[in-house]
Structure 1
Amino acid sequence: MNEFLQFAGQYWWLVFPLFGMTMGAIGTVNKQRELSARRRHREQLELIRMQGGEVAASRPAPAVAAPAAGDDLRRVEAQHDDVTHRWLDYELDVSKLIAYPAMSDGRQPLTAAFLRAKKVADNLRPAAGETPSPERAKEYRDAVTDYEVAFELAERDARRVKAAAFTPDERKRLETAQQLLGVAVDQAASPNERQVAYRRVRQELDGLIWLSDEAVENLEKKVALELPSATPPEPAA
């Protein structure tokens, strides 16, 4: 024991290098353990991924809900029909055509743009029972959006300008036609009064507003309505 103490007293300076060597050895061991732990961790992860892939391969992929595309197509078709019905409210109603003549005037830039957009949307609409490709469906959807926007712009402009594009004499004819139209569809008027008023309406509008065959047919049906029959008196008690 005394010899060891004498040795330690003479060679005390060896403590520092020995301490450094010891700590270095400990650090090396710890580093090796850490690397080994990381390697085992990577191997475990790889094994888990492989097992997961094998399970996924053996299990059929879940079916994708296909009706979503069909639902979208029906929604676009309903949007298409809605715009067309809004347009027909003008096209088939002579009173509205007189009030907003620009809606039937293809010379108006916005009306012409709307009519072109309508033609494009109508041509791209899938036939009944047809399942269009995704590209064709997108093209149709974009066309219907353009159709709706073009209609709203044309309608807004027609309500703004009204009969501003006509001369004072032409506007007077439009006002006369609107008044006569009220008589032509008035069930309180006689059949002869209605027929005379109807003919005058057609004369006043000739050369000013183009009426479609359907609009004329609808107007003639209203003019041809019979006067309501009088209710027979109830028999005396």
Structure 2
Amino acid sequence: MGLLFRLAELLVVIVPLIGVLYAGFKAFSSYARRVGEAPASPAPEKTSEFDRPAGGDDAARWRAIARAVGAHEGTDARWLEYELDTAKLLDFPVMTDMREPLTMGFHKAKLRAEFHKPPRAEDLLDDPEAARQYLDAVEHYVTAFDAAEAEAVRRRRADFSRDEQQRIARAQNLLRLAADAAATPQERERAYGLARQELEGLIVLPDSTRAAIERGIAGEIDK
């Protein structure tokens, strides 16, 4: 009998405790279910200076656009130096070697920046998305050009054999003569032809470089 009374007393203590635990479990399950079913709070949208209200921020937007246009034109000018100075171009042949990933990347980035450049910079003030695309394109263009130029300076003509480097050096001298207004048209034309022979299979001159030299020679012949 004593054992039965002890079991009964134990049940009196345990049953209420079980009830409390069960109630707590149900409450927690209900809370968890509500949390799971509740719609997630939308993440805050990313903002940029082009998403901010108009007014005082117009000046900041315009400064960003003006900086991008300046960086774009500045990088174009840096590339133009290579196209106009054939001696420099031949000192750093990687800059025209389209087999090089960095060189190819730079030219692709250049085209992208030109594509996104508006006829008037002011047009970007009223078009935040177009402005963002242009700024991103210019940043990529400048970065890609810097990388290609750094690689070209690092390698210079190291990828060419001694004989090939001598051919490039001869081509440099010949191209200087081809661009020399003091030389006769015949001398310039012959020098240009010999320079192209020296560079055959080594370096491809940009179209604009070849066109400038050929126009200069043709202009002297027509005089």
- Range of TM-score over shorter length: 0.5 to 0.7
For the residues of structure 1 that align with 2:104 and 2:179, how far apart are their CA atoms? Answer: 31
The 3 A distance-change label for structure 1 pair 126 and 185 is closer
For the residues of structure 2 that align with 1:115 and 1:189, how far apart are their CA atoms? Answer: 34
Q: Which residue number in structure 2 is paired with residue 173 of structure 1?
A: 167
RMSD across aligned C-alpha pairs, in angstroms? 2.7
Residues 142-196 of structure 1 show CA distances to partners (whole Å, capped at 9, x for unaligned) of 3212211211121121122112222333222111101212322334433332221
Mark the runs of 5 or more structure 2 residues left unpaired by the alignment: 1-53
Are 1:95 and 2:87 counterparts? yes
Mark the runs of 5 or more structure 1 residues left unpaired by the alignment: 1-61, 227-237
TM-score normalised over the length of structure 1: 0.60
Q: Which residue number in structure 1 is paired with residue 191 of structure 2?
A: 197
For the residues of structure 2 that align with 1:113 and 1:63, how far apart are their CA atoms? Answer: 38
Are 1:130 and 2:150 counterparts? no
For the residues of structure 1 that align with 2:119 and 2:177, how far apart are their CA atoms? Answer: 43
Runs of 4+ residues over 4 Å off in structure 1: 221-226
Determine helix, strand or coil for the equivalent of 1:214: helix
Residues 116-143 of structure 1 show CA distances to partners (whole Å, capped at 9, x for unaligned) of 2223322322343633533432332132
Q: Is the 8 A contact 1:91 1:104 kept in 2?
A: no
Q: Is the 8 A contact 2:96 2:206 kept in 1?
A: no
The percentage of aligned residue pairs carrying the same residue is: 41
TM-score normalised over the length of structure 2: 0.63
How many residue pairs end up in the alignment? 166
Determine helix, strand or coil for the equivalent of 2:123: coil
Residues 193-232 of structure 1 show CA distances to partners (whole Å, capped at 9, x for unaligned) of 2221121112212232222332112223444676xxxxxx
Are 1:73 and 2:65 counterparts? yes
Q: Partner amino acid for 1:90?
A: Y
Q: CA deviation at 1:65?
A: 5.5
Are 1:209 and 2:203 counterparts? yes
Q: Partner amino acid for 1:94?
A: T
Q: Which structure has the greater CA radius of gyration?
A: 1
Q: CA deviation at 1:63?
A: 4.9
